[in-house]
Chains A and B, each alone.
Chain A
Amino acid sequence: MALLDIDHLRVSFRTEGGTVQAVDDVSFSLEPGEILGIVGESGSGKSVTAMTIMGLTRSPNASFAGRITLTGPDGATTDLLAASNHQLESIRGARVAMIFQDPMTALNPVHRVGDQIAEQIRAHEPVGKRAATARAVDLLRRVGIPRPDERARSFPHEFSGGMRQRVMIAMTLSCSPQVLIADEPTTALDVTIQAQILAEIEDLRAETGVGVLLITHDLGVIAEVADRVAVMYAGRVVEQGDLRTMFTDPLHPYTWGLLGSVPRIDKDRPGRLPTIPGAPPSLQNTPKGCHFAPRCPHRFERCGEVPPLEAADATAPGHLDRCWLALDTKRKVRIVNGTIGLPAASPAGADTAGVR
């Protein structure tokens, strides 16, 4: 059993404008000591997935289906979707911890950072205030904050963005969690600080064996630290595999579009940076069948049905994708101008040639 197993997760929210299907049949699993990158643009459902694991999306207007199974060190399993609020409280912060995107707003401005860390320790372990504060100082030292005993008494606004994110990391580490969810941990930071924070997360993984779910829209971040990657689009995982395969042998047209729109210094740029034409669908009114079909230049009749997430290449069972195109066709049509990408317009008739 994997450390964390997401099984056919569906999350929808009732809003004034109708029901929003934010997460639509998402499955993946995370092993101890592994960094799984989840990549997708705004509205792809990656953050909702992460928050749902933490139980942070629970509200009267939300409904859930599927299973989120967390396996403890003793082999006991808990379904986080079915867990009571009280059960969740004891798991959050202790066994599953989360780092948020914006360290400027994620810390409470009126409490000292040391107290904010100590508060979490005391929420889960029967330790005194002084002992908890001492541990908070140790944690700050461990994530590389200079003069930690002094800084523990500072308020969040007295830290820089990168230092604040280190504080957040120290906080999430405080109860030695099994799973660390990092939701866009570097998006709000300067590029040089980004690298430091990513290095910090990698070190921790190596040191503690924590499983990391790294959520980002930045393929560069993924390329830097992830072991495996899941690409999400409009509430679904469209492709999943290990890092190398995803970059060298991507099998879903959306992934091609993503890779094609990344500026590369090792290749000549073909004029303007290519983009994927169109916009993601509204989650209140998603297209039937493949969600990417309306923007896909390779679409054909079959795309009106929902493609399953399965391995296209029998020799690579860990590499899954959701596309009806045949494997050979994919490998042929993904090359645009000598590199992986999506053509601007549909090459008429080319697609129906080979179907999975």
Chain B
Amino acid sequence: MPSRPPLSVTLAAAAGLLFLHLPLAFIFLYALTTEEKSYQFPPPGFTLKWFAVAWDRPDIWQALGLSLRVASVATALAIVLGTLAAAAMARYRFFGREAVSLLITLPIALPGIVTGIALRAALNLADIPFSFWTIVIGHATFCIVVVYNNAVARLRRTQGSLIEASMDLGADGFQTFRHVVLPQLGTALLAGGMLAFALSFDEVIVTTFTAGQQQTLPIWMFSELIRPRQRPVTNVVAVMVIAVTLIPILAAYYLTRDGEAVEGASK
């Protein structure tokens, strides 16, 4: 039995968690305030009208639509490329393998601002105009890493002989991939994909450099803070962003946890 921690540690932990999460409560609070010019505390009154206002704003819908499309396409791209890269790393030994592995994972360690500037310079140099696809490419750089890491970890834990067993029993490469490899990778890809989606959905820095005049939802929020107009609407959108990003992250957490429990039991 683990013993109870001393009171001081409990208090410090509670204070730390409050410091991290109390600001989120203010997002919700100010989404409901009647004061629209400044964040006054305590709020003079509460109203749900900002949800209706936000609903009627076409710029929000446009930004939300763009963010969702970018996140979906970047995630799809990341799942395909990340899985292929992971399969190559897990299956083959080749010269420079470790270096390639490092290069694949580097974008997530690199500050977003460096990735952003680099991409912008590259796009300028190649004379590529900013578009939906330039945002997708920017996001794919770090989305691939998340999928790749999940897939590589799962493949490492998967017995190599499973693929041989499948081939031995008469399955060709495609059947083996469909019936053996994909089910093994399934939850890892789902988890990686959800994480990638959430990362893409709230990305600001790289997007700033690759979006041009287009506004994704986080960028729209950023501009609203600078130019105050119906301030609580921003908070309403923030509440939506929390919901959209939190759900897949929680789902990913539970899915990978289950996956590990199952694999652990089979050993």
A and B part of one assembly: no
Please give the residue numbers on chain B whose beta carbons come within 8 Å of chain A beta carbons, in ascending order. Answer: none
